[in-house]
Amino acid sequence: MKRFIALSSMLFVCLLAQANQLTMESVSEQILQAESLHQKARTVGHGWVITLKLIEQAKAALADDQLIKADELSKRALGTALASVTQSIKEKRVWRSRKPSS
Amino acid sequence: MIRGTVCLVALLAGAGSASADPESDRQALARYFEQRFPDVEVAAHIDGAYALNAQTREQWLAMEDFPPYEFSVDDGEVLFGASFKDGSGYQDCFGDGNVKAHFPYFDLKEQSVVTLELAINDCRVASGEEPLAYDGEDIALLSAYMAFTSRDSVIDIEVPPEGLAAYEEGKQYYYSRRGQLNFSCSHCHMQMSGMKLRAETLSATIGHVTHWPVYRLKWQEIGPLHRRFKECNEQVGAEGLEYQSETYRNLEYFLTYMSQGLPLNGPASRK
């Protein structure tokens, strides 16, 4: 029983610590990362509409103190921003294969 | 060492000719569409999707009996004839307006592509006038008038060695996948040309620049080529760019060379 209580309280402390990781600052940081990646894609003509939309929604959720929602949205924004940068890098390599050969 | 240098020179020369020869690009593209549509002459593509769909062509020809851009040409003529404050006018820059066949061109001094819209604003600014907004009505009307006076002239642009990088950038833009849907311009307007996307038949790359500006029923007004670029970008979830941005001008430069030798037939109407 003692062991159970000890384990449970450890788990509780862990969960608490994890919840604590989700702060205004950490989510803001995540949004900034998404924005910076999006900007990177954009400067080479590969910005995606969805990324901007997600960033705006994440910012709105954050302003509304909806941390979990803001976290989720900014994670998605980070994902699409990363995909758009990946697209730009890959396309630089392969676009020529699409033009008809002379 | 010498052998290495020779190899390098040969490689560079080879790379140059492979990547930067607008005329062989144009010929290869024309062949592509000749093979894809053996019954459609290359020059017929200036009518866009209406060259590939007999049914919608009928409706379009009926619409052209009373062309919806007619008033725009008239209004454009009035704007074109008006004088600037310093007494000069558009005629001093563009004569009677029949100049479209030579646009866009690569400006050696500015080291960038000059489209007709850009030249209209350059003409104004040189006379102390404010530039017009690229998404505004006046510039569309002026270019409608100039497209009209340029009708039947044959596209005749140049890509000097200094302009090759801009041309190549336009070409790369055209063939690169973009947006969340991961489509390039060429996916829709080459591989899928002639097929239907929702209710629309997809037109061919060749002829894409000959007829602008366009009165679109969807827009309920006349609008420029770059508006169509933006819309096509957004269709695939990509962010559209500013009208007359360097990238769109380079794209127009590439596309215009792909229509080199075709007659101008603007302004036009489209769904």
Interface check for B175 against chain A (CB to CB < 8 A): the answer is yes
Domain locations along chain B: 20-65+159-270, 70-149
Percentage with pLDDT > 90 across chain B:
90
**Does residue B3 carry a pLDDT above 60?**
no
A-facing residues of B in 95-124 (CB < 8 A) are: none
Q: How confident is the model at residue B47 (pLDDT cuts 50, 70, 90)?
A: very high
B232 as an active site residue: the answer is yes
- Among residues B83, B66, B45, B65, the alpha carbon closest in space to that of B204 is found at B45
pLDDT of residue B2: 42
pLDDT of residue A21: 76
- Among residues B138, B134, B136, the alpha carbon closest in space to that of B252 is found at B134
pLDDT of residue A102: 74
Question: How far, CA to CA in Å, does B106 sit from each of A38, A55, B122?
Answer: 31, 38, 14
pLDDT of residue B222: 97
Out of B25, B179, B186, the one facing A48 most closely (by C-beta) is: B179
Which residue's structure tokens are 């006349």?
B222
Tell whether A102 is covered by a domain: no
**Does residue B4 carry a pLDDT above 80?**
no
Lowest mean pLDDT among A2-16, B18-32, B172-186: A2-16
In degrees, rounded to 5, the angle at the alpha carbon of residue A14 between the alpha carbons of residues A12 and A15 is: 65
Distance CA B124, CA B149 (A): 20
Domain B20-65+159-270 in CATH 1.10.760.10? The answer is yes
Interface check for A101 against chain B (CB to CB < 8 A): the answer is yes
Question: How far, CA to CA in Å, does B27 sit from each of B15, B39, B159?
Answer: 19, 18, 15
If one counts the domains in chain A, the total is 1
Q: How confident is the model at residue A5 (pLDDT cuts 50, 70, 90)?
A: low
Tell whether A37 is covered by a domain: yes
Asked if B213 and B221 count as a contact pair (C-beta separation under 8 A), the reply is no
Tell whether A45 is covered by a domain: yes
ipTM for the predicted complex: 0.85
Per-residue pLDDT, averaged over B78-100, amounts to 97
**Does residue A20 carry a pLDDT above 80?**
no
Within 8 A by CB and 6+ apart from B72, the residues are: B140, B141, B144, B213, B215, B222, B267
Classified by CATH at the fold level, domain B70-149 comes out as: Cytochrome Bc1 Complex; Chain D, domain 2 (1.10.760)
Q: Name the token pair of B59.
A: 């409706």
Range of the domain at A82: 24-91
Per-residue pLDDT, averaged over A57-74, amounts to 97
Average pLDDT of chain B to the nearest whole number: 93
Q: How confident is the model at residue B5 (pLDDT cuts 50, 70, 90)?
A: very low
Per-residue pLDDT, averaged over A24-40, amounts to 96
pLDDT of residue B11: 40
Tell whether A59 is covered by a domain: yes
pLDDT of residue B45: 97
Distance CA B21, CA B164 (A): 8
Tell whether A33 is covered by a domain: yes
Q: How confident is the model at residue B20 (pLDDT cuts 50, 70, 90)?
A: low
Tell whether A10 is covered by a domain: no
- Mutating which of B180, B226, B232, B255 best tests the A interface, going by the most A Cβ atoms within 10 A? B180
Tell whether A18 is covered by a domain: no
Tell whether A17 is covered by a domain: no
Q: Containing H/E element for B216? A: strand B214-216
**Does residue B77 carry a pLDDT above 50?**
yes
